[in-house]
Amino acid sequence: MSQNQSISTITVKELAEYLVKDSSELQLIDVREPEEVKIASIKGFKIFSLSQFHEWSKTIIYDLDFNKETLVLCHHGVRSSQMCFWLLQTGFLNVKNIQGGIAAYSSIIDNSIPQY
């Protein structure tokens, strides 16, 4: 996959539908910083902060399933797209970037999640 190929995406409305159902077949990844996660988060997401890449990049292949559908979240969708690209390069098969990130989820789906 080259850098200019498109990464699959999912809308926050689709994410909300996924989260209402049994999400045990999903891998949910949040790449934001710990300070951001403290302000606003969605239950069920594992934190893999991009700034700590050197700490988890060698072990993520043991922590996650290459075949499971993997949804990636950040603040607006830029960092999560970087993570999606890396996961696909690493061999993950079903990776989707959450369009608009937690900011969109907060404004469209659940306004009890703080904006920042």
Record the tokens describing residue 79, joined without a space.
């960092």
Closest CA relative to residue 29, chosen from 101, 116, 111: 101
Q: Is 98 exposed, middle or buried (0-12, 13-18, 19+ CB in 10 A)?
A: buried
- Residue from 15, 72, 73, 74 carrying the catalytic annotation: 74
The reply to whether 74 belongs to the active site is yes
DSSP 8-state class, residue 45: P
Q: How far apart are CA 95 and CA 28, in angstroms?
A: 10
Residues marked as catalytic: 74
